[in-house]
Copies of this chain bind each other. A is one copy, B any other.
Amino acid sequence: MATIRDVAKLADVSVSTVSLALSNPARVSQKTLEKIRQAIAAVGFVADPLAQSLARGRSRMIGFIVGNVGNPFFGDIRRELENYALDHQHFVVVTDSSGKTDRERAMVEHLIGLKTAGLALAPSGHDRDYIDFIAGLNLPIVCFDQKVAGIERDFVGSDNYLAGAMLTEHLLQLGHRRIAVITGPSHMHTATERYRGFADTMANAGVDINPNFVVDGQFTRTAGYEAAMRLLIQPERPTAILGTNNAVALSTLQAMQELGFRCPEDISLAMIDNVQWSSVITPRITMVVQDTLALGGIIARRLMHRITNPQGAVEPPQDFVLTPKFVPGNSCRRI
């Protein structure tokens, strides 16, 4: 591999001039610029990113940290960020924390060690320790998906309250009153907001919520399945179920199928968030989906803005909350 010294030697200039020519060509005369250009081509020089990062104290990498890269929601965002970053000479390093806070922390620390230019982070933690950790980081960070109280950073996400409210309203409109909800972890902002949207809408309609109809699905497949089962074996069953994320909703569908309940004939089902291949799942589930492409675009722009703009670092954090979209399916029937 050719180094900058090889180039300098061949072009008969100093190393620092070559470096300058590369980083700020305007300050170098046309004549030497041309000599250097030729020398670079002749030896096939490519700057070593590692050496650059070490000297600059900053790399051209962006860290992307989520709990599950396989989740298409994160996948879409990743793609948008990657495209945008690539257009701006930055490289995205994707890491998966599997939703574990300690692992996420290890990964963030590793990324910091790599002197990444910035971080796009879907936070997995929520306690004091975690918040302090994030707060203590001294580099551009854009958080997304989970809004964590106490983290003073840019945040990009969807209106989860509205998501819960929209589907609840839809079910009420169809005549449902015995509506059950499968919730997510209470420490997650998305979970509490979606539930709030549900509860407020029910209250506004003057419909009481049956306490037995509120079960915790932890946003996971297994817990969601168990939660659904608990709902379905009750003597007085709900006429409709709202799954507050895709995992619990689809687990519910599975549970219903296994117990011989038809959807929507016996029980209606609505879900928040999309899922791959939702179009071939029978019935097509009525859902509220997030605009992942828009979210990804905003995250990318905001992060690159903070990275490339010198004064971007001191701009106060800002929240970007997008409106989710209602996508009707045929999993909810009128009663």
In the complex, whether A305 has a CB less than 8 A from a CB of chain B is no
- Cβ-defined partner of A54 (8 Å) among B54, B276, B277: B54
List of B residues within 8 angstroms of A319 by Cβ: none
In the complex, whether A147 has a CB less than 8 A from a CB of chain B is no
Mark each residue of chain A from 67 to 79: 1 if its CB lies under 8 Å from any CB of chain B, else 0.
0011110010011
Stoichiometry (number of copies): 2
In the complex, whether A91 has a CB less than 8 A from a CB of chain B is yes
State the A residues within 8 Å of B (CB).
46, 48-51, 53-54, 59, 69-72, 75, 78-79, 82, 91-96, 98, 107, 110, 113-115, 250, 253-254, 257, 275-277, 279-282
* Shortest distance from the beta carbon of A217 to any chain B beta carbon, whole Å: 15
- Cβ-defined partner of A96 (8 Å) among B82, B115, B276, B279: B82
A114 touches B49 (CB 8 A): yes
* Shortest distance from the beta carbon of A97 to any chain B beta carbon, whole Å: 10
List of B residues within 8 angstroms of A115 by Cβ: 50
B79 touches A75 (CB 8 A): no
Give A50 to B82 CA distance when docked, in angstroms.
23
List of B residues within 8 angstroms of A110 by Cβ: 49, 91
- Cβ-defined partner of A277 (8 Å) among B59, B114, B275: B275
A79 touches B50 (CB 8 A): no
- Cβ-defined partner of A70 (8 Å) among B59, B69, B93, B95: B69
* Shortest distance from the beta carbon of A271 to any chain B beta carbon, whole Å: 11
A48-B113, A91-B107 given; name 5 further pairs at CB < 8 Å.
A50-B53, A69-B78, A93-B93, A250-B280, A281-B282
Q: Which residue of B lies closest to A91 (CB)?
A: B110
* Shortest distance from the beta carbon of A111 to any chain B beta carbon, whole Å: 9
Give A93 to B53 CA distance when docked, in angstroms.
17
Closest 5 CB pairs of A and B: A70-B75, A94-B94, A282-B282, A49-B113, A254-B280
Q: Which residue of B lies closest to A83 (CB)?
A: B98
* Shortest distance from the beta carbon of A241 to any chain B beta carbon, whole Å: 14
B257 touches A114 (CB 8 A): no
Given contacts A69-B69, A70-B70, A276-B70, contact A78 B96 (CB under 8 A): yes
List of B residues within 8 angstroms of A114 by Cβ: 49-50
* Shortest distance from the beta carbon of A60 to any chain B beta carbon, whole Å: 9
* Shortest distance from the beta carbon of A130 to any chain B beta carbon, whole Å: 20
Give A248 to B49 CA distance when docked, in angstroms.
41
- 22 A-B pairs with CB atoms under 8 Å apart are A46-B113, A50-B53, A50-B59, A50-B114, A54-B54, A69-B69, A69-B75, A69-B78, A70-B75, A91-B107, A93-B93, A93-B95, A94-B95, A94-B96, A253-B280, A254-B279, A257-B280, A275-B276, A277-B277, A277-B281, A281-B281, A281-B282
